[in-house]
Structure 1
Amino acid sequence: MLASLLLADLTTELTPAVRFQRLLQCLKQEFQCGAVALLKKEEEILRPLAVEGLVKETLGRRFRIAQHPRLATLLSSREPVVFDPRSEVPDPYDGLLDSLEGQPLPVHDCMGVSLYLDGQQWGVLTLDSLTAGIFDRSAKDKLHEATLIIEALIRMTQLEQERLGLRSLSRQNDTFMASAVSGSSEIIAQSQVVTRLLQELDVVAQSDLPLLLLGETGVGKELFARFVHQHSQRAQQPMIHINCAALPESLAESELFGHAKGAFSGASQDRPGKFEAAHGGTLFLDEVGELPISIQAKLLRVLQSGEIQRLGSDATRQVDVRIIAATNRNLQEGVKKGDFRADLYHRLSVYPVPLPPLRERPEDILLLAGHFLELNAHRLGLRCLRLSAAAETALLQYPWPGNVRELEHVISRAALKTLARQNSTGNGWITLEPQELDLNLEPGVTSAPEEEGSPQGRPLLPLKQQLEICQRQAVQQALDTAEGSWAEAARLLEVDSSNLHKLAKRLNLK
């Protein structure tokens, strides 16, 4: 039956996300297990492409192979591997099963297999169960038989993408986010707004047009700039980053264009500037709106002629540099006020790209949270770091004025606060609750306030998340009215008492 279902999908035109999800649903049903995951190997990490039976934040996690011995074991074998239920080796999904609410796994089976395409290792498929012994010899044989069809399904998906002309995005920018603080250059996103933006930038990257990235603080402007550079013909050349806001006016010219020996006190030798360092590659001018007006005229000359002149030198030098600028300021207002040159603005904004704030892409919040949870778990030496259902709701309700950077700091701070409160790592299991997130949500606030000039106003949350928020509020209100009596609360809500208990457990209210 499993083979027939998978073969049927091979002959059906589906998107990669839908095809992989259908694959996992089929496997979960066939093996009667609690969770299934498909992970792609990318250098030293495994990235989840699809999960079934695991919390949504799992998709944002990146499993470093050296830190997960079970995954390393799967990758080292060409045959399916079944782990002993009594094994004390930690499972990468401990605490992440959707049905366990972040509790440690009492017993569970784990089985998996490495996947190969055209003789090259592609990734792994993992299956987990709460029932000890469910993955017996027959289950192992069944997975072995299904492996070739699973690999064929993955291969078919890749061929369809190539046929449709969808260039496979490299791992450093396919679904990426994170922040400069964490040192990652990956953009993690599932939202349509970011997906469309990446497709647009993939095309724009092929030209040498100046690019102006517009967006609020913390949206990841540098990461999108790196995406463009890595997808351009200049990808093998350097990308030089300069923070214009940190440039004192007295040093700005020397930093950008270099200086000759003796140009000023302390200039003991010739020194190239950032433009020369970026020759053949890309120069990223972050916070370009903060450039001193005196430097703006000299920057304009470089954009017009491609020539620079070192401070203190009469010689000109030709440079071949693609400019990507970024700002959180309204440069058109700056032009009106005389703070920014109109001619420079028009040169830089040949192709302006507005970057969406986090509140306009709520589908990405939990994925990003999962990414930061995984990073902090390894930093703090924890076995599992995850969010409670109430904490997930709090993250989705918050307007995120500081965007992705603020989300990273919130997760890091909450992890440290919770660990400090427990005064030890204990068994290495930590579930973050809303009070540790310290988001200062006002009662009844469920989304960002309407912004001036924004026709959409509040972001629309996925239906499932909206339903959970409403259910949680209704149950809590009924309990308050019934003074804590579950039986009375069930009567007020006109539901069966046992069903109310199950719902409350799922919503993490018990």
Structure 2
Amino acid sequence: MEPLLQLMSDLGRDLPPRLRYRRVVQILKSAFQCDAIGLLKLEGEVLRPVAVEGLAEETLGRRFRLADHPRLQTILYAHEPVIFEPDTDLPDPYDGLVESRTGDLHVHDCMGVTLYVDGRAWGVLTFDALAPGRFTRLDLERLKHFVLLAEASVRLAELSSQLEALRSLRADAGTALASGLTAGRQELIGQCPALQELKQELMLIADSDLSVLILGETGVGKELVAREIHALSRRRDRPMVHVNCAALPESLAESELFGHVKGAFSGALSHRAGKFEAAEGGTLFLDEVGELPLAVQAKLLRAIQHGEVQRVGSDVPVRIDVRIVAATNRDLKEAVRQGKFRADLYHRLSVYPVFVPPLRERGNDVLLLAGHFLELNRSRLGVRSLRLSRDAEKALLAYGWPGNVRELEHVVSRAALKARAKAASANAIVTIERRFLDLELEASDPPPGVPGDHGQAAPAPALEPGLTLHEAQARFLRRTIEEALTRHGGNWSRTAASLGVDPSNLHKLARRLGLKQSGATPGGAPRVRYN
């Protein structure tokens, strides 16, 4: 009776959506004395966890395709709560993810029910217990009494989310968001405050036609942010055209952007529209815009200023209606000061700058993203379950991620392959151990001492007045690597072996520290410079 009263009491409280979801699973987990519970929202053909209890945190980053998970599919399409027999052949989506990590969970109890909002299936509640026979027919009847209150809680959370969106968007953009246009496209996964602020900012600017400059390090997901802006805008039904400015040869850049007419140059055998015309009515995404040559920058500026382009070889201007979204990992202000980027173009592009936070500043979002990539790899590799060990989770959280989300994806995919190769069968619960991640020394997380050739740690430099701990760490690592390189005649492989790190990771660390090999001294020792 008390759990029912708690759910009823929560209906009268003003709770943010995420906390309301969490309260539902906490109360129900206690009511049914289960080991794990999940609340999953239906988005197209995918179920997305919005709150879990008793499951690994990375579960929140997973996306469960109904076609890959027949147990979830059965729950969703049933009109009543269901219990699965302990010996059912249907795999459990949470195998290996229960926090206790006791056993392999090949036999355990599962119960589930579909939640409806406004007569439509909203999602499912799943209950898992490690002990077979934990759930009974009596639990099914009890669950029916909780369903209506759980559905009311979910409805309040949905209304709250829509009101938040309406506060940030004009009415038409708010309608677009509420109608589920986010389904079927990649999403920005994470719950850290910085990412939540970014999402709010994107909703605010999406419906305008202001030019947006997306800033951030390599691999943070700038293209994903650009696609989010387009998908939330009034131009969402028109094309979004992606231009990789770094891959544009200067000789062909004008033709690629603005098009050409037949005979304009050697090889122009027919009329061809450029990227601007291809994006008519939609969004033109200029990725790596900082790499554009100055000559092309001038022509791009004219197109943006006047809203028209001229095909190469033609004197006839073509009117265009496109929204410009650009992205760069370079410091364009510094490039302007150095004369490498036009100031007028910079101001045209950066009407509204947006900064995407690096992964190292997003805390536990690393585990959510890892869970997302694990589920993708589980499906690709055809294994029953793919999970992280505790040590692997700690390693992911401790690593500095110089390559950000893109590097995390590659690390998880590579580790999944290694772990699968060691697994006995595809039906086993495959655990990714720390050693499979191949995460070594990082400037953001160095060990107390880096062993030298004789196993001795190099002495740490004295902390100068005004020198931060991070600067002292970086200085220590630079000196250690430089001295080891000198001892080994500039041989990076031997240097890496003596320092006990992988050669590729040593190169990455050296680049991050601004340390590069640039030839050799007359005595044969490497000459090192700092950028």
**TM-score, normalising length: structure 1:** 0.83
Residues 383 and 426 of structure 2 are in contact (CA less than 8 Å); yes or no, is this contact kept in structure 1? no
1: CA distance, partners of 2:446 / 2:11:
42
1:231 shift after superposition: 1.0
1:16 aligns with 2:4: no
Residues 172 and 186 of structure 1 are in contact (CA less than 8 Å); yes or no, is this contact kept in structure 2? no
**1:366 aligns to what?**
367
Check 1:426–1:211 CA distance in 2 against 1; reply closer, same or farther (3 A cut).
closer
2: CA distance, partners of 1:365 / 1:19:
24
**2:428 aligns to what?**
428
Residues 238 and 280 of structure 1 are in contact (CA less than 8 Å); yes or no, is this contact kept in structure 2? yes
Check 1:106–1:231 CA distance in 2 against 1; reply closer, same or farther (3 A cut).
closer
**1:352 aligns to what?**
353
2: CA distance, partners of 1:369 / 1:171:
25
Runs (4+) of structure 1 moved beyond 6 Å?
169-172, 455-458
Match runs of 1:395-410 below 5 Å: 395-410=396-411
**2:52 aligns to what?**
51
Provide the secondary structure at the position in 2 that maps to 1:235: coil
Q: Deviations over 1:108-167 (max 9, x none)?
A: 111101111111111111101112222111100011121111111111222233445455
2: CA distance, partners of 1:350 / 1:273:
24
1: CA distance, partners of 2:250 / 2:238:
28
Q: Deviations over 1:242-275 (max 9, x none)?
A: 1000011111111100000111122111110000
Residues 260 and 311 of structure 1 are in contact (CA less than 8 Å); yes or no, is this contact kept in structure 2? yes
1:88 shift after superposition: 2.2
**2:226 aligns to what?**
225
**2:465 aligns to what?**
none
Residues 261 and 313 of structure 2 are in contact (CA less than 8 Å); yes or no, is this contact kept in structure 1? yes
**1:115 aligns to what?**
115
2: CA distance, partners of 1:50 / 1:302:
48
Q: Deviations over 1:452-494 (max 9, x none)?
A: xxx9979xxxxxxxxxxxxxxxxxxxxxxxxxxxxxxxxxxxx
1:318 aligns with 2:319: yes
Provide the secondary structure at the position in 1 that maps to 2:273: coil
1: CA distance, partners of 2:96 / 2:314:
63
**1:63 aligns to what?**
64
2: CA distance, partners of 1:30 / 1:406:
42
2: CA distance, partners of 1:420 / 1:95:
18
User: Which has the higher mean CA deviation after the structures are superposed, 2-11 or 153-162?
Assistant: 153-162
**2:528 aligns to what?**
none
1: CA distance, partners of 2:196 / 2:369:
15
Q: What letter matches 1:156 in structure 2?
A: L
2: CA distance, partners of 1:456 / 1:160:
44
**1:451 aligns to what?**
none
2: CA distance, partners of 1:156 / 1:242:
42
1:294 aligns with 2:295: yes
Would you say how many aligned residue pairs link Structure 1 and Structure 2?
Answer: 441
**1:279 aligns to what?**
280
Runs of 5+ unmatched residues, structure 1: 175-182, 448-454, 459-510
**2:450 aligns to what?**
none
1:445 shift after superposition: 3.0
**1:437 aligns to what?**
437
**2:28 aligns to what?**
27
1:329 aligns with 2:337: no
2: CA distance, partners of 1:95 / 1:139:
24
Check 1:88–1:240 CA distance in 2 against 1; reply closer, same or farther (3 A cut).
same
1:354 shift after superposition: 1.6
2: CA distance, partners of 1:331 / 1:442:
27
1: CA distance, partners of 2:27 / 2:305:
59
Q: What letter matches 1:73 in structure 2?
A: T
1:281 shift after superposition: 0.5
1:67 shift after superposition: 0.7
1:289 shift after superposition: 0.6
2: CA distance, partners of 1:125 / 1:132:
19
User: Which has the higher mean CA deviation after the structures are superposed, 144-153 or 31-40?
Assistant: 144-153
1:302 shift after superposition: 0.9
1:76 aligns with 2:77: yes
2: CA distance, partners of 1:132 / 1:392:
29
1: CA distance, partners of 2:364 / 2:15:
21
Q: Deviations over 1:290-331 (max 9, x none)?
A: 111111111000111101000111100000000000001111
Residues 21 and 157 of structure 2 are in contact (CA less than 8 Å); yes or no, is this contact kept in structure 1? no
Match runs of 1:130-209 below 5 Å: 130-164=130-164, 165=166, 167=174, 185-209=186-210
1: CA distance, partners of 2:411 / 2:65:
23
Q: What letter matches 2:445 in structure 1?
A: V
1: CA distance, partners of 2:258 / 2:106:
63
**1:179 aligns to what?**
none
Check 1:107–1:91 CA distance in 2 against 1; reply closer, same or farther (3 A cut).
same
Residues 212 and 326 of structure 2 are in contact (CA less than 8 Å); yes or no, is this contact kept in structure 1? yes
Q: Deviations over 1:384-441 (max 9, x none)?
A: 111000000000000000000000000001111222344x535332111111100113
Q: What letter matches 1:22 in structure 2?
A: R
1: CA distance, partners of 2:319 / 2:326:
20
Residues 95 and 104 of structure 1 are in contact (CA less than 8 Å); yes or no, is this contact kept in structure 2? yes
Check 1:443–1:434 CA distance in 2 against 1; reply closer, same or farther (3 A cut).
farther
Provide the secondary structure at the position in 2 that maps to 1:344: helix
2: CA distance, partners of 1:365 / 1:93:
19
1: CA distance, partners of 2:53 / 2:391:
21
Check 1:86–1:377 CA distance in 2 against 1; reply closer, same or farther (3 A cut).
same
Q: What letter matches 1:351 in structure 2?
A: Y
2: CA distance, partners of 1:444 / 1:269:
54
Residues 62 and 372 of structure 2 are in contact (CA less than 8 Å); yes or no, is this contact kept in structure 1? yes
Check 1:172–1:456 CA distance in 2 against 1; reply closer, same or farther (3 A cut).
farther
Check 1:171–1:401 CA distance in 2 against 1; reply closer, same or farther (3 A cut).
farther
Residues 213 and 326 of structure 1 are in contact (CA less than 8 Å); yes or no, is this contact kept in structure 2? yes
Provide the secondary structure at the position in 2 that maps to 1:14: coil
